[in-house]
Amino acid sequence: MTPPTGQTVKRATYPAYKPTGVEWLGNMPQHWATARLRFHVKVNPSRSELNGCPEALEVSFVPMEAVCEYGGLRLNQTRPLADVATGYTYFRDGDVLSAKITPCFENGKGSVAGGLVNGLGLGTTELHVLRPTGDLEQRYLFYVTISHAFRKLGTACMYGAGGQKRVPEDFVKDFRQPIPPIDEQRVIAAFLDRETGRIDALIEKKKRQIELLQEKRTALISRAVTKGLNPSAPLKDSGVEWLGEVPAHWQMKRLKHVVKCLDAKRIPLNSEERGEMQGDYPYWGANGIVDHVDDWLFDEDLVLLGEDGAPFFDPLKDVAFYVTGKIWVNNHAHVLRPAQGIDPRFLTGVLNSVCYAAYIEGTTRDKLVQEHMREIPVQTPSLEEQQAIAEFLDRDTAKIDGLVGKVRDSIDQLREYRTALISAAVTGKIDVREQPAVTKPVRRAPASFQRAVLAAEIVHRLHGQPTFGRVKFQKILYLCECHLGMDLKGNFRRQVAGPLDNRMMHSVESQMKRQKWYEARMADSRTVYEALENAGGYQKYFDRYWKAYRPALNALLRLVRRATTEQCEIVATLFAAWNDLVLEGAEFSDDDILREVRTNWHESKARFDESRLRTALQWMRDKGLVPQGRGKTTRGEEK
């Protein structure tokens, strides 16, 4: 049996089949029936069901970004019913949600709703809500909605133009689906829960491989363009806090002195204009090639640096690109012509290693304006050394990129197999009724060991960064517990450099050394973490204890990766003061938060002026670093 995706699923089949009369479906098991979903599902129930509910009732709020692909909802937002009773899609626990707009529908966005606050949810209007009747199991119905046939046929029925195409409600109602007996539906759903869970776990491991390769690539570039290729070269202080030391014979210059900005020649094109100009020349934006057009604006060796919308705070993504040949550039990327004596490939590596926190402005969208861009410090060795570094990086990053490509191909194959498996199971092409459920015992470990595993992951991800030391490490552990909600058994107190649990720090450092993962040592008046012979040994435990937190931890580490020690201190201290006020149930304002930091902490906090702290508070809100009252208060003396 070959499912529509092209992947082959080799499993037992049913003993007898019969024709369905449905062209795309072919035959189905003898004892199954086909029916349009309208006879088994209530589609988009009326919001009138909310009549009589108190206006102040808290309900879950679910924007499209909170709907995961192939199952899952992020339920971290709530609203009073009065704020969302109109203008949003209504659903309740047990309903099946399916995105209806492109590309969310094609990408498999949808879920079974569960765990909603007060059992109710409202959210994006770009969802179809399917409420199964008593003869249709909700998990089975969910798998139907992410099956290949449902998505392919639904895409063909979309209406609208461009990025606003939607699946009509009538398609959902009229979709003909094979329906086995309800007990068999539950068996199929349980089988798919188990098997897709295994596939998804493999995909996550491979994604982690890609992250590690990308981190290796980033560290390779950063090391080469900040320290050079000669490990014995004497170093000097660059005068830039986040950059640290550079080879003594290198010069430090401002970007404005090593490039000419050609932004005046950029011309943005909207999608309609590009549609009329389709061609072979790359059309560049802040994050890479957006499209291809039939004309060009530039034809030389250049460096493009994101202006707005670039991932300035994601160290695993590039913000600068070396380009050559005929290209068109829109107004979201700065166009830089390197001066004589500057290799564009080397400069690209330098600009991808900059800590942009001090140069970015904007509240809703990060932006690097020309005025700030021009002042970025740039380390400049001789042209000959630049070229040697560039050639080294071209060669070694190509190897890493090749490995990343292979892992991505294997992820694509796993996703295709998952789709094929789901389609085969819900159409009866395979018989899963005899598949036994396997329950593996969960192994427990002391909290101190689990905490050390998390600490080792943080050190592994950040120890190559020049700004990472013991103080920054402490602040990240605090945010892990009180922002991400990871139970570290911490007892953080108001210390000089921000919230600190000294006992925890001694515990994790001792445990990491005992396991031969990492050892803390002093170097140039600061603590650094040195990899030991079993540095990767913690990884086999990480998913066992912290898998559910990996996406949130990844986001946090991307946020703080290039932040300076002082920036981390400011953020963690503000967060702690704010969180304490939330825990205490007090009414408070930003003024109260600042007062806690500047007058109710250590006297050293007075060195942070109010404007800087207010800017940091706004940045925290923009990035989602908003306390929810997790962990313990930091008030009191350490015992």
Q: Would you state the structure tokens that stand for residue 348, as one six-digit string?
A: 């690209």
Task: For tokens 């040949």, name the residue.
Answer: 325
Backbone angles phi, psi at 154, to 5 degrees: -65, -40
Residue bearing the bigger pLDDT, 586 or 160 = 160
Considering the chain, what percentage of its residues have pLDDT values greater than 90? 63
Q: How buried is residue 132: exposed, middle or buried, by Cβ count under 10 Å (0-12/13-18/19+)?
A: buried
Q: Would you state the structure tokens that stand for residue 574, as one six-digit string?
A: 């503000």
Dmax (CA) of the chain: 81
Quote the pLDDT of residue 434. 74
Assess whether pLDDT exceeds 90 at residue 344: yes
CA distance 447 to 523: 30
Q: Stretch 541-545: mean pLDDT, rounded?
A: 84
Assess whether pLDDT exceeds 50 at residue 4: no
Query: Residue 542: which pLDDT band, with cuts at 50, 70 and 90?
Result: confident
Query: Residue 413: which pLDDT band, with cuts at 50, 70 and 90?
Result: very high
Which segments of 383-497 are extended strands (E)? 493-495
Query: Residue 438: which pLDDT band, with cuts at 50, 70 and 90?
Result: very low
Angstrom CA distances, 120 to 84, 92, 116, 502, stand at 11, 4, 5, 43
Q: How many CA atoms lie within 13 A of 307 on its CB side?
A: 19
Quote the pLDDT of residue 408. 94
Angstrom CA distances, 242 to 45, 131, 565, stand at 55, 54, 9
Q: What is the pLDDT of residues 11-39, one digit of tens each?
A: 889 999 999 989 899 999 999 999 999 99
Q: Stretch 285-298: mean pLDDT, rounded?
A: 94
Quote the pLDDT of residue 446. 83
Mean of per-residue pLDDT scores for the chain: 90
Considering the chain, what percentage of its residues have pLDDT values greater than 70? 96
Q: Stretch 546-555: mean pLDDT, rounded?
A: 87
453 in Cβ contact with 534 (< 8 Å): no
Q: What is the pLDDT of residues 420-431, one digit of tens each?
A: 999 999 999 999
The least confident of 83-97, 285-299, 322-336, 457-471 is 457-471
Residue bearing the bigger pLDDT, 392 or 631 = 392
Quote the pLDDT of residue 443. 53
Contacts of 2 (CB under 8 A, 6+ apart): 8
Assess whether pLDDT exceeds 50 at residue 265: yes
DSSP string, 242-270: TT-EEETT-EEEEGGGTEEE-GGG-----
Query: Residue 173: which pLDDT band, with cuts at 50, 70 and 90?
Result: very high
Residue bearing the bigger pLDDT, 116 or 161 = 116
Q: Stretch 358-372: mean pLDDT, rounded?
A: 87
Q: Stretch 576-605: mean pLDDT, rounded?
A: 88
User: What's the pTM?
Assistant: 0.64
Assess whether pLDDT exceeds 50 at residue 597: yes
Q: Stretch 181-205: mean pLDDT, rounded?
A: 92
Q: What is the pLDDT of residues 50-70, one digit of tens each?
A: 998 999 999 999 999 999 988
DSSP string, 347-376: HHHHHTT--GGGT-B-SSS-B--HHHHTT-
Query: Residue 100: which pLDDT band, with cuts at 50, 70 and 90?
Result: very high
Task: For tokens 């592994």, name the residue.
Answer: 460
Angstrom CA distances, 232 to 208, 228, 246, 556, stand at 33, 10, 12, 35
What is the chain's alpha carbon radius of gyration, rounded to the nearest angstrom?
A: 28
The least confident of 349-353, 444-448, 478-482 is 444-448
Assess whether pLDDT exceeds 70 at residue 164: yes
Assess whether pLDDT exceeds 50 at residue 257: yes
Q: Would you state the structure tokens that stand for residue 480, as one six-digit string?
A: 């892990």
Tell me the domains of the chain and their CATH numbers: 33-179 (3.90.220.20), 229-380 (3.90.220.20), 447-622 (no CATH)
Which of 452, 453, 450, 460 is closest to 532 using CA atoms? 460
214 in Cβ contact with 394 (< 8 Å): no
Query: Residue 574: which pLDDT band, with cuts at 50, 70 and 90?
Result: very high
Tell me the residue length of the chain: 639
Assess whether pLDDT exceeds 80 at residue 538: yes
Assess whether pLDDT exceeds 60 at residue 435: no
Assess whether pLDDT exceeds 70 at residue 439: no
In what order do the strands lie in the sheet containing 326-329? 288-293, 278-285, 326-329, 298-299
Which segments of 412-476 are extended strands (E)? none
Assess whether pLDDT exceeds 50 at residue 639: no
Quote the pLDDT of residue 294. 95
Q: What is the pLDDT of residues 516-528, one digit of tens each?
A: 898 988 877 778 8
CA distance 120 to 110: 17
Assess whether pLDDT exceeds 50 at residue 437: no
CA distance 75 to 355: 32
